[in-house]
Amino acid sequence: MNFIEYWRVMREKFDKYLLNELSVLPFNNEFKTYFDGGKRLRPILTILVCQSLGGGFSNAIDFALAVELIHNSMLIHDDFIDSHKCRRGHESLWRKLNPRRAVLVADMILSYAQRKIAKISALGYTTLAKAIYDVTLGAAMEPFSIDSFMESFKKGSISTRFYRVLVRLKTAALFAASAKLGAIAAGKGRNIRSKAYMYGLYIGEAFQVADDLVDIYRMRSNGLDDTVLVRLIPAYIYFTKSGNLDFKNLNNGVIIDGMRRLIDEDIGNALKQLKNWPENEYTSILIEAPKTITELMLQESG
């Protein structure tokens, strides 16, 4: 079985469990469609890591559930903050309900996930708490305007490496926690948990850089988008090592080739974490995962 085959089987199995859990939450008829269509990469990573380390689906499922609930609760917040009208083919929750109820529903889902983990693992709880903190910090650090970001950069309060910090916080942190939770679910010690965390971190970084690369490809076809450009400024500065903005350079080899090199570097670093990992079918799938997960994102560029 390769990663795609595993992902399809496990996503169907996970979704059944997810829908059953969602059914017990208040307002579920109003928000459960929000969970339709997700890739489920983070919870499936939790399950796969656990199985590669000798654990079973039943050991990992509640950890995986918490990851997906937290991820989606944050997306509800993001959609409202960024005024996104749609998510996965459905109207964004803040538009479907209203901003106040959508934000409160997201908070309810987030607290439900934390409560569920707190009942089964103190270490799992602190792992997720750190991830929530990191992702929230990353979101708060994202530039909200080109002018204010560039002013901070020119003053020296933001370095060229800001992009790497941002990527690790806003995206990679939850991937890292997802993989670590798999090791926790399998009952492994600190060394394996640390390797699992770094494995997930590198996958998450590659995934976010691929996401940014998709945005560049889309703008090549559809023209510049001011909202997307604001998000890409840190990447522009990191790869060009320049504060002289010329958005035509988004199409040049310096940025695109730099992103592809960083993706390859992250994939390689993820695989290094699996040295001395148990040899089994699930580890073989785990070895495939970094490249395949990144490719799934890049396919969205069309």
39-52 confidence digits (pLDDT tens): 999 999 999 999 99
Q: Which residues contact 102 (CB under 8 A, 6 or more apart)?
A: 76, 79, 80, 92, 93, 94, 96
Contact 277, 209 (CB under 8 A): no
CB atoms within 10 A of CB 71: 22
How high is the mean pLDDT of the chain? 90
**What percent of the chain is predicted at pLDDT more than 70?**
95
Q: Kindly state the tokens that stand for 196.
A: 């699992």
Q: How far apart are CA 244 and CA 295, in angstroms?
A: 31
**Is a pLDDT exceeding 70 seen at residue 250?**
no
Task: Give the count of domains, the chain.
Answer: 1
Which amino acid belongs to residue 262?
L
User: Mind listing the pLDDT tens digit for each residue in 61-110?
Assistant: 999 999 999 999 998 887 877 777 777 667 777 777 788 888 898 899 99
- Provide the residue range defining the domain that includes 57: 3-301
Q: Identify the CA nearest to 42 among candidates 266, 210, 199.
A: 199
Residue 144's alpha-carbon distances to 80, 184, 187, 213, 231, in angstroms, are 14, 37, 42, 20, 8
The model's pLDDT over 176-200, given as tens digits with 9 standing for 90+, comes to 999 999 999 999 999 999 999 999 9
Largest CA distance in the chain: 53
pLDDT (mean) for 214-243: 83
pTM over 0.85: yes
Surface-to-core class of residue 39, CB atoms within 10 Å of its CB (0-12 exposed, 13-18 middle, 19+ buried): middle
- Cβ contacts of 215-223, under 8 Å, gap ≥ 24: 216/250, 216/251, 216/255, 216/256, 216/259, 217/301, 217/302, 218/301, 218/302, 219/250, 220/251, 221/302
Whether residue 234 contacts residue 163, with contact meaning beta carbons closer than 8 Å, is answered with yes
Residue 279 has pLDDT above 70, yes or no: yes
Specify the CATH number for the domain of residue 84. Answer: 1.10.600.10
Residue 10 has pLDDT above 70, yes or no: yes
End-to-end CA distance of the chain: 26
- pLDDT tens per residue, range 287-302: 999 999 999 999 875 4
Structure tokens at 34: 């929000």
DSSP state string for 231-290: HHHHHHHHHH------GGGGGSHHHHHHHHHHHHHHHHHHHHTTTT---SHHHHHHHHHH
Nearest one of 216, 35, 191, 208 to 109, comparing CA atoms: 35
Q: Residue 147: what pLDDT?
A: 85
